[in-house]
Amino acid sequence: MIPNQWYAILESNEVKKGRPIGFTRMGEKMVAWRDSKGQLTVMSDLCPHRGAALSIGQLKGDCIQCPFHGFEYDMHGACKLVPANGRNAEPPKAMHVRTYPTREAHHIIYIWWGEPRTDENYPLLPWFANIGDDMAYSTIRSHWKNHYGRAIENQLDVVHLPFVHYNTIGSGNNTLVNGPTAKEIKIQEGSYRIDLWVDNLTDQGQRPLKPSEMPDPTRRPLIQFHFPNLWQNWLSDNFLVFLIFAPIDETNTMMYLRQYHKVRFPLIRQIFEFLAGLGNLYILNQDKRVVVTQRPPRPDLGIGELLIPGDHPIVMYRKRRRALMEEKELA
């Protein structure tokens, strides 16, 4: 995983007051829970005493209680009670659960994956400015058995459209790929976005333009990817498709697909979300069927794939991902 990034890992409604939830992200077992005021914490799902899972314990006031021996930990991971030592005994300071810096925004839970910082030194949460609070959404969740990088690259891949999606978003037999045009945008230190414009055409014997030959686009990008794991298909100002690629581990990804829109009337909105959800799930499963077969599981530079000019956005993603993992700037 890319270090020192805010990762979207869950939706806010998955963590309810009064009940801890266990899950795996970044290859680690975690537990999330809320205190009596609804404040959220995400911590390691491991009691440091004897290694039991805290997620199957219960909440006691503003602490989570280990189900094995009743040790209680607060939202910062500090042990507040060792029952066997007596309620008035001072718990050992070493008895501490690892917690993750956590933020909530846009009904999404983010954790900071990297070296802890002071609050003023954390970067802004990754997001897309065109997705406003005036937009409603519904969510589809899908578990993919592949590295999250493969899922991301699929959404930057314009070459696959007429083949994987021959009867949906790729219909029309536009197999020839001009460019594509892809631009990397630096948001702030360590934070980047890739903007992508699609120009696929029917092959009538013409030579496709290389990425370096493409004119500067005059329209907004159709696709945007925000490192480390957010993506949108900006179809219009009133409708877009949004994805979270939440890494479970090296070979599993939880996909959160949201359909943002501005349909206001409740009944029409319900029908719209149902039909759009069916369509997007069908399209997502078209991708899933192929992407989960890719080898090697984790994409990177120099893994033996023979890439073509149409893979330009994927090369851009891999170069920036490698640079962020090595914490260096590209030349």
Whether 218 and 272 share a structural domain: yes
Instruction: Output b/e per residue, 51-81; b: 16+ Cβ within 10 A.
Output: ebbbbebebeebbbbbeeeebbbbbebebbb
130 inside domain: no
Name the pLDDT band for 87 (thresholds 50, 70, 90).
Answer: very high
pLDDT at 179 over 70: yes
200 and 225 housed in the same domain: yes
In the chain, % of residues over pLDDT 70: 100
In CATH, what number is assigned to the domain containing residue 234?
A: 3.90.380.10
Spatial CB neighbours of 269, under 8 Å, sequence gap ≥ 6: 136, 261, 263
150, 294: one domain: yes
Shared domain check, 303 and 182: yes
126 in a structural domain: no
Specify the DSSP class assigned to residue 78.
B
- The verdict on residue 18 lying in a domain is yes
**How much is the average pLDDT of 295-306?**
95
Mark whether 93 and 206 lie in a shared domain: no
Residue 180 sits in the same domain as residue 319: yes
Are residues 156 and 60 both part of a single domain?
A: no
pLDDT at 165: 97
**Residue where one domain finishes, among candidates 69, 86, 121:** 121
Is residue 79 a part of any domain in this protein? yes
Residue 330 placed within a domain: no
pLDDT of 331 > 60? The answer is no
CATH of the domain at 84: 2.102.10.10
Same domain, 14 and 114: yes
Counted domains in the chain: 2
pLDDT one-digit tens code per residue, 31-68: 999 999 999 999 999 999 999 999 999 999 899 999 99
Separation between Cα atoms, residue 320 and residue 183, nearest integer Å = 12
Looking at the domain assignment, is residue 211 inside a domain? yes
252 pLDDT band, cuts 50/70/90, is: very high
pLDDT reading at 162 higher than 80: yes
Q: Same structural domain for residues 77 and 162?
A: no
pLDDT in tens, 273-294: 999 999 999 999 999 999 999 9
The percent of residues above 90 in pLDDT, for the chain, comes to 95
Mean pLDDT to the nearest integer, 207-213: 95
Q: How confident is the model at residue 7 (pLDDT cuts 50, 70, 90)?
A: very high
How many other C-beta atoms can be found within 10 angstroms of the C-beta atom of residue 262? Answer: 13
Q: Where does a domain end: 62, 95, 121?
A: 121
Q: Is residue 127 part of a domain?
A: no
Domain boundary pick from 121, 144, 164: 121
Say if residue 151 is in the same domain as residue 244: yes
- Regarding whether 288 and 152 lie in a shared domain, the answer is yes
Residue 128 lies in a domain: no
Q: Report the Cα 235 to chain-centroid distance in Å.
A: 20
Domain that holds residue 47: 5-121
Instruction: Examine the domain organization and report whether 11 and 93 are in the same domain.
Output: yes
Average pLDDT estimate for 188-195? 94
